[in-house]
Amino acid sequence: MKNFALAGNPNCGKTTLFNSLTGSTAHVGNWPGVTVDKKEGRYKKLDEEINIVDLPGIYSLSPYTPEEVISRNFIIEEKPDCVINVVDATNLERNLYLSTQILEIDVPVVIALNMSDLMDKEGKSIDTIKLEKELGVPVVKISALKGEGLKSLMEVAYKAAFTPRKGHSVIEDKSLLHLIEDVRIAFEGMGVASPLFHAIKLVGKDDIEVENHGNLVSMVDQYKANMEAKEDVDFESMIADARYKFISEKCSSALSKHEVAEEKLSKSDKIDKVLTHKIWAIPLFVVIMFFIFHFTFSEDLFYIGHIGAAIAGVPFDEFELIGHAGWVRFLSADYWTPLEELGGMNGIPSIGVFLQSWFGLATGSIITGFESFMPEGQWYTSLVIDGLLTGLDAVLSFIPQIMILFFFIAILEDSGYMARVAFILDRAFRKFGLSGKAFIPMLSGFGCSVPAIMATRTLEDEKEKNRTIRLITCFSCGAKAPIWALLATVGTLAGFAGDLFVFSIYLGGIAMAVIYALFMKIFSKDQYVSPFIMELPSYHMPQPRNVGALLWEKFKHYLFKAATIIAAATMVIWFLSYFGWGEDGKFQFLVFFDEEAGEYVSRIDLSILSYLGRGLRYFYYPLGCLPGGWTYGEDGWKYTVSTITGLIAKEQVVDTMAVLGLEEGTLSLSAAGVYSFAIYNLFTIPCFAAIGAAYGEQNRKQFWLTMLFWFAISYGTALVFYWLISLYEVAWWGGLLVTLALIGGIVFAGIYVTKLNKRKALSN
Ligand code: GDP
Ligand code: MG
């Protein structure tokens, strides 16, 4: 039985073709060791049955994604009798980039020019005879969707399967060809199959090739050293350039040159004129994102509360009636009664805040319900209410906003807009070792780190994904806002307004993200940012089914992964804060009935947690040990414990502080103390739900590195700023001097390491 493989870019129609060829015989498995689908089935309409494999969609045969490695190894090692390279004819140039690589392998290849129905519709056509001549392999026009041309495709492929084919390259650069030929001959001498393919990959310093055939690397390096005198050579990009040159010079002309219809802009092109405009694209995107965040997280929709309050000359009462109550009031006559009487003005909450508030009401009433019948002062009551239900409440209350955020993102994605955004932003991000796609997760981070970390799934490159996850804490999430609000009330900040403090935290977070990104890039062994090749799909109306499926997947993921982790963590923290050695020295549950007050009180100050806090305080000592610092004196352990319980959810920081008696009015921190505490809490390890999300997205080693990174940047940055601001408080000129020295040192070190890396890369 013959084996055929379907290879091509994502979305070129492979699976559609596979389904119509194999029908009911198809079955899905996994490729060994990875969670990528392996689809196999039979084609029965020829003299002989054909086994067909649907390879994962790829843009290149480089070794940067599991999909690429799978497809590449399959073609080279399993040696299918014919590779059917599915090409999306409406995106010919992008798709042919992969074809030029497949052609280098010693295997029969047939090009299936798919989506021909769309070409007809747009009044375009492709000269297949010319294309065949340039590529040197058969080209068959098909429409996988309509089932057109499939029979002749299979007949051509079947015929090709009987004729062995030698790989050939489209590269025409003389000096490059010379080198490739030398390496190819060496490979051939070693008896390696597909020597041309391996030779080209080795010349391009492909990771897999370098690993397998290290002995030939010196040949390439020597050659390179000879060329170096002339110019800065990067063979990998030279090879890529050569491919594109071939495509644009030889193949593009096959495309509908004779058609008048080409003049007519398609609808997609027209929309692109606006959305990917040179100047307006980014501002437009910022506005769109602003509205998404506004609809999801704003407590004052369209700022009508602020505006109304300004017009009426009354204070805006932000914290009084947020959530669903704002709507209730808006719909009641009350809203328009003389504002002076109400003493303030509210806005209408966004849909996200509204739903979250209702959810909170529902989960809150569950807690109240349990409280009403469970006996007071018992450990099991506390376990259920202060432990389990409180933890569950923290997880559930995020669901509405997460779903709404993902709903908007799914629409942007499914409509084809997201692909364009990534494309627009790619250039700026590249300087920091990230590609354009990293932007969406980062923006989401301002809402909640959990969906932000989950959104890194759209990043195909592992390294970039890891880097992006690590930067997420720099974007202050919604749950951290109460911490800033509380700190803004500290008296020592009165010299400069509290809102400026909050603003500086948000902006400072972004600024540090840029610095950390550069830092990761500079110290990375591998400076490579994967090339950002993507086809821009045509715009289309988002499909409810796609959006629904995406939301459902996120929902499940969030609920199961985060809920299990947060439930477990909450129990541990609950135990640590409600058990300890009482005043009688015995280990016990720490809720007692206070005769005088006539109510139950909990003695958290005696808990295991408090002892841990007192111990851990010394660990954090350098971050605030001077008077006015957060690790200084009697209150030191309380701040320490609060940052630790922040692991459950960042709202816990302020909650724990309140329980331990640190509230507005009782905080006595210096400006250095405030900033040190704020900086530590901003950058540090996020809540358990976010840790769970990171655990789900990264492999073991990378996950622990991420935890270490979060801890290191928070401790390090807080340390530097604490002492710097303390110095400013004593002598401003001293602070200035050290600041300048620090900046100088960082810049110098950056330049030095970059140079070192370059030299190392060259000598490799
Ligand atoms: P894969 O990622 O390569 O497996 O691509 P799919 O088979 O999932 O197809 C991607 C999209 O292209 C789907 O929405 C298909 O319905 C559509 N599609 C596939 N083949 C054709 C075709 O010949 N004509 C048209 N108009 N659409 C197609
Ligand atoms: Mg597919």
| Averaged pLDDT, 17-28 | 81
Higher pLDDT, 715 or 348: 715
Selected residue with higher pLDDT from 351 and 97: 97
In a domain, 391, yes or no: no
Tell whether the model's pLDDT for residue 335 goes beyond 60: no
Residue 652: is its pLDDT beyond 90? no
Which residue would you say has higher pLDDT here, 508 or 684? 684
Q: Position of tokens 């103390």?
A: 673
Identify the CA nearest to 474 among candidates 437, 439, 504, 511. 511
Q: pLDDT tens across 266-278, in order?
A: 677 788 888 888 7
* Protein residue with least CA distance to atom 12, ligand 1: 13
CA-CA distance, 746 to 756, in Å (whole number)? 15
Dihedral over alpha carbons 15, 17, 18, 20 (to 10 degrees): 120
**CB-CB contact of 104 with 194 (8 Å):** yes
Same domain, 125 and 224: no
Say if residues 753 and 522 touch (Cβ distance below 8 Å). yes
- Highest mean pLDDT among 92-96, 405-409, 506-510, 549-553 belongs to 92-96
pLDDT at site 138:
96
Cβ atoms < 10 Å from Cβ of 334:
11
The winner for highest mean pLDDT among 41-55, 287-301, 447-461, 584-598 is: 41-55
Please report the atom of ligand 1 found closest to the CA of residue 148: 23
Q: Is the pLDDT of residue 658 over 60?
A: yes
What is the arithmetic mean of pLDDT over 561-573? 69
Q: CB-based contacts of 75: which residues, under 8 Å, 6+ apart?
A: 5, 7, 55, 61, 83, 102, 105, 107
Whether pLDDT at 296 is above 80: no
Q: Do 52 and 102 fall within a single domain?
A: yes
One domain for residues 197 and 244: yes
* Ligand 1 and 145: CB distance under 6 A: yes
> Of 118, 140, 145, which is best to mutate to test ligand 1, by the most ligand atoms within 8 angstroms of its C-beta?
145
Decide if pLDDT at 87 tops 90.
Answer: yes
Q: Which of 11, 90, 121 to mutate to test the pocket of ligand 1 (most atoms within 8 A of CB)?
A: 11
Are residues 129 and 194 both part of a single domain? no
Lowest mean pLDDT among 14-28, 34-48, 523-537: 523-537
Domain span at 225:
174-262
CA distances from 374 to 9, 362, 365, 369, 371 (A): 60, 19, 14, 9, 5
Element (DSSP H or E) covering residue 157: helix 150-160
On whether residue 146 sits in a domain, the answer given is yes
The atom number, within ligand 1, closest to the CA of 86 reads 3
Looking at the fold, whether 59 and 34 belong to one and the same domain comes out as yes
In the chain, what percentage of residues exceed pLDDT 90? 26
Q: Atom 18 of ligand 1 has which residue's CA nearest to it?
A: 13
Rounded Cα distance between 710 and 717, Å, is: 11
- What tokens does 638 get? 């309380």
Share of the chain above pLDDT 70, in %: 84
Distance from C-alpha of 305 to C-alpha of 300, rounded to nearest angstrom: 6
Between helix 195-203 and helix 235-246 the angle, nearest 10°, is 120
pLDDT at 394: 61
Total tally of structural domains belonging to the chain: 2
Nearest C-alpha to atom 21 of ligand 1 is from which residue?
Answer: 145
Report d(CA 689, CA 6) in Å as an integer: 40
Residue 236 clears pLDDT 60, i.e. is over it: yes
pLDDT score at 198: 93
- Is the shortest distance between the CB of 193 and ligand 1 below 6 Å? no
- Residue 19 CB less than 6 A away from ligand 1: no
120 assigned to some structural domain = yes
Give the total residue count for the chain: 764
Which of these, 599, 579, 594, lies nearest to 380 by C-alpha position?
579
Task: Using pLDDT thresholds of 50, 70 and 90, give the confidence band for residue 585.
Answer: confident
Q: Over 60: is that where the pLDDT of 390 sits? A: yes
Residue 262 is predicted with a pLDDT of: 46
130 φ, ψ (degrees, to nearest 5): -65, -45
Q: Domain end: 102, 133, 160, which one? A: 160
SS3 call for 27: strand
The mean of the pLDDT values for the chain is 82
The residue whose CA is least distant from atom 9 of ligand 1 is 13
Ligand 1 atom at shortest distance from the alpha carbon of 16? 7
Residue-level pLDDT at 291? 83
The CATH number of whichever domain residue 37 belongs to comes to 3.40.50.300
Same domain, 240 and 95: no
Report residue 480's pLDDT band, with 50, 70 and 90 as the boundaries: confident
| Residues 206 and 105 occupy one common structural domain | no
- What does 699-729 look like in DSSP terms, one character per residue? -HHHHHHHHHHHHHHHHHHHHHHHHHHHHHH
Whether residue 492 is contained in a domain is answered as no
Q: What is the mean pLDDT of residues 638-660?
A: 82
The pLDDT of residue 117 = 87
Question: Strand 50-54 relative to strand 37-43: parallel, antiparallel, unpaired?
Answer: antiparallel
Residues 471-498 have a mean pLDDT of 75
**If you measure from the C-alpha of residue 217 to the centroid of ligand 1, how many angstroms do you get, rounded to a whole number?**
41
Q: Which pLDDT score, from 0 to 100, does residue 319 have?
A: 41
**What is the pTM assigned to this prediction?**
0.53
Round to whole Å and give the CA distance between 478 and 505. 13
In a 13 Å sphere around the CA of 652, the CA atoms on its Cβ side amount to 27
Does the structure show a pLDDT above 90 at 461? no
Residue nearest to atom 2 of ligand 1 (CA): 11
The closest alpha carbon to 479, from 503, 450, 458, 517, belongs to: 450
81 pLDDT above the threshold of 90: yes
CB of 481 closer than 6 angstroms to any ligand 1 atom: no
Q: Which residues contact 705 (CB under 8 A, 6 or more apart)?
A: 466
pLDDT tens-digit readout, 159-185: 999 999 999 999 988 888 988 998 999
CA of 13 to the centre of ligand 1 (A): 4
Rounded to whole angstroms, how far apart are CA atoms 437 and 138? Answer: 36
Please check whether residues 98 and 120 belong to one and the same domain.
yes
Q: What is the pLDDT of residues 491-503, one digit of tens each?
A: 655 444 566 777 7
More confident residue, 75 or 418: 75
pLDDT band at 566 (very low <50, low <70, confident <90, very high): low
Res. 98: pLDDT tops 90: yes
- Would 713 be classed as within a structural domain? no
Q: Report whether pLDDT(45) > 80.
A: yes
Q: Which of 216, 233, 262 is the last residue of a domain?
A: 262
Q: Name which residue leads in pLDDT, 464 or 715.
A: 715
- Of 203 and 536, the one with more pLDDT: 203
Q: For atom 17 of ligand 1, which residue has the closest CA?
A: 13
Q: Are 28 and 151 contained in the same domain?
A: yes
Does a structural domain hold residue 144? yes
- Asked if residue 37 is part of any domain, the answer here is yes
Domain boundary among 244, 262, 280: 262
Q: How far is the CA of 17 from the centre of ligand 2 (A)?
A: 9
Per DSSP, the chain holds a count of helices (H) and strands (E) of 35, 11
Are 190 and 43 in the same domain? no
Q: Is the pLDDT of residue 131 over 80?
A: yes
Residue 85 · residue 68 · CB < 8 Å: no
How many Å apart are CA 100 and CA 104, to the nearest integer?
A: 7
Q: Of the ranges 159-168, 205-214, 250-259, 316-325, which one carries the lowest mean pLDDT score?
A: 316-325
Taking the CA of residue 18 as reference, the ligand 1 atom at the shortest distance is: 7
- Flag whether pLDDT at 33 surpasses 60: no
Q: Is residue 650 part of a domain?
A: no
Contact assessment for residue 670 and residue 627, using Cβ atoms and an 8 Å cutoff: yes
CATH number (domain holding residue 206): 1.10.287
What is the model's pLDDT at position 61?
92
Mean pLDDT across 454-458: 78
70 and 138 share one domain: yes
How do residues 509-565 score in pLDDT, each as one tens digit? Answer: 888 988 898 888 877 766 555 555 555 667 778 878 778 877 887 777 667 755 676
Helices within 169-234 (DSSP H only) = 174-189, 195-203, 207-212, 217-228
Contact by Cβ (8 Å): 374, 337: no
**50 and 187 part of one domain:** no
**Does ligand 1 come within 6 angstroms of the Cβ of 12?**
yes
CA of 13 to the centre of ligand 2 (A): 7
